[in-house]
A and B are shown apart, each in its own frame.
Chain A
Amino acid sequence: MFLRRRTDTSLSDEDLVLRIRGGHQASLAVLWDRYAQLLFGVAMKYLKDVDRSKDAVLDLFTVLPERLAKQEVRQFRSWVHTVMRNHCLMELRKAGVPMDRAIEEMPIAGPPVQEEGPLLEADLQRMEAAIEHLDPDQRACIRLFHLERRSYKQVSEQLDMPVEQVRSHLQNGRRNLRIALDQRQDRHEH
């Protein structure tokens, strides 16, 4: 008689990975629930094809126990994202997709390497002086999104600019605030 075991869905990804390494296949179902649709979305972004994206997700989860057994994975979320992205890029290459297209698919925010952490809302709230020195569009976007907690759509409507431009101003504004904070830190240390 098969005894059904309930896997705790509140376990961290790392704990689930350890269980899968130990042969606990039911933990794979939890990771499936957490990540299958997200990874499908990632695959769609690159492959632009529903069937190929579905296959990509199934292929990934099919080999996942074996890969986890062979590799040490400290942060499953970023690791599995990188695996899916690399798989998609290889698929595009095999399909003879011109490299420019694959290049253009690269995210504006950067390649899959070590990324900076998020700029916390609390830090932004302490940065009034630094925000005042930003470019006007960046300043407006930062204030509306982070301080007034508006959505992209709301910011876009209020400032009469496309959502993509709002995101770009936010990205550049955050980067400039980080630089300004570093400079302030340097001045303080000197």
Chain B
Amino acid sequence: MNTDASTPRDDISPELLKQYLRGELDPAGEHRVEQAMDADPLLREAAEGLALPGALAAAEALRAPQRSHWPARLLGGGIVAVVVVLGVLVLRMPDSAREVVLPGSTPVATPETDRPVAADGSAATLPIDGRDSVPALAPGVAMVQAEAFREPTPVQVVPREPAPDRIEPVPARIGDRPVDPAQPTSHTDRSSRRLVFRHGLKLVHPSELYGLRVEGPGIGGQRARMGSADPQPVDRLATDAQPAPIPYLDHMDDVLAAFAAGRWQRAQEGTQVVLDQYPEDVNAQFYNGLAAYELGQDVKARRWLAAAERNTVNSFQEEAAWYGALVVERTEGAEVARPLFERIARTGGFYAERARARK
């Protein structure tokens, strides 16, 4: 099986996925699709959505749109678009270059520009995600554009039209912070990342990790356990088998409370709950690793501190490197750890001075 992410997955085609969802495959075929879904988040989410009532039939219509199947309003909009565009072209074309355009032909983006033009010839921008601005299209033109994805039936070559001027977009706002389209948010920009502090300990705000506005994902507590000697009557880290998801920050607040109190085992259990569901969560990686360090679980500490250090969200990079070096020093000795401390010292960061003292 070809595992190159950029090559076509001709072994699990959309058609095969639909057969799976309709229950038309034998167990071996089902296994093949399920195995692919395990490895492919797009396939997995697509299957979830297509399994909803009416979705498969709608997907079939989406795939092979026939002109007669489009809603009347789109057809009407398409006809208007054809008439307007043809009129513009005829008016602007010099007599010598004028070509006859057959009735019923659809306007398509020219090969040179590939730029769709709205039915009224103008182009107003509509921010999509705050970083890009794209021309807003009338529904009819959207339909035409979709059809133009396919090799069109014979059409006349139309003269090139200049691209419409773009209007600068109004930046979208996320929460209280305006998003500048010229400055795409980057998870690698440590200095601009939003942080919160709970119990004196740092957390990367979940909006930075998950692109959600406020609170981040809900955390289920299926794996949490309550210590038998725990005196606290209410403890969100210890839950029943199937609790409702709780807000991310509330859960991590409990984790850091346990951490700040030196209750490493409880903190570790709480971060493990997060990692079970979101294995790339940098907050959980770092504090799980740190709790393991405190508990003397060196293998686990190295694994999670290394993960936090190399996470694309690099907010814990320095701290993870420091504690990772301490683990190496403890398990393999000062000689082996020396290059790690030297690297930390060279970075000139918060731990540089301490690293120099340990070299």
Interface residues of A (CB under 8 A from B): 1-2, 4-7, 9-14, 23-26, 28-29, 32-34, 36-46, 48, 50, 53-54, 57-59, 61-63, 65-67, 70, 74-78, 80-81, 85-87, 89-90, 93, 99-100, 102-104, 106-118, 121, 145, 149-154, 170, 172, 175, 179, 182-183, 186, 190
Contact = CB atoms under 8 A, between A and B. Distances in A.
Residue in A12, A74, A75 whose Cβ sees the most chain B Cβ within 10 Å: A12
A87 B142 CA distance: 17
Interface stretch (B77-85, B212-220, B318-326): B212-220
A36 B62 contact: yes
A151 B6 contact: no
Given A40-B58, A102-B212, A103-B216, A151 B142 contact: no
Nearest to B313: A113
B114 interface: yes
B146 interface: yes
A132 B115 CA distance: 59
Contacts of B115: 66
Interface residues of B, number: 89
Contact of B30 (A11, A57, A152): A152
B280 A115 contact: yes
Nearest to B218: A103
Contact of A110 (B211, B213, B279): B279
B44 interface: yes
A61 B281 CA distance: 31
A99 B214 contact: yes
Interface of B: 3-8, 10, 14, 17-18, 27-28, 30-31, 34-35, 38-50, 52, 54-55, 58-59, 62-63, 108-109, 111-116, 128-129, 132, 134, 137, 142-143, 145-146, 148-152, 154-157, 209-218, 245, 247-248, 276-281, 299, 302-303, 311-313, 331-332
A26 B150 CA distance: 6
A172 B43 CA distance: 20
B140 to A, nearest CB: 12
A42 B40 CA distance: 12
Contacts of B58: 40, 44, 50, 53-54
Contact of A111 (B48, B142, B276, B280): B280
B213 A40 contact: no
A43 B58 CA distance: 12
Contacts of A67: 132, 134
20 contacts: A25-B111, A34-B14, A37-B46, A37-B62, A40-B58, A40-B59, A44-B52, A62-B116, A62-B142, A63-B132, A81-B45, A86-B211, A103-B245, A103-B247, A109-B44, A110-B277, A114-B312, A150-B27, A172-B276, A190-B331
A61 B146 contact: yes
Residue in A39, A115, A151 whose Cβ sees the most chain B Cβ within 10 Å: A151
Contacts of A58: 142-143, 145-146
B280 A114 contact: yes
Contacts of B30: 151-154
A57 B128 contact: no
A152 B34 contact: yes
Given A40-B62, A118-B39, A151 B27 contact: yes
Contacts of A107: 41, 44-45
Contacts of B152: 2
Contacts of B311: 114
A186 B299 contact: yes
Contacts of B42: 38, 42, 77-78, 80-81
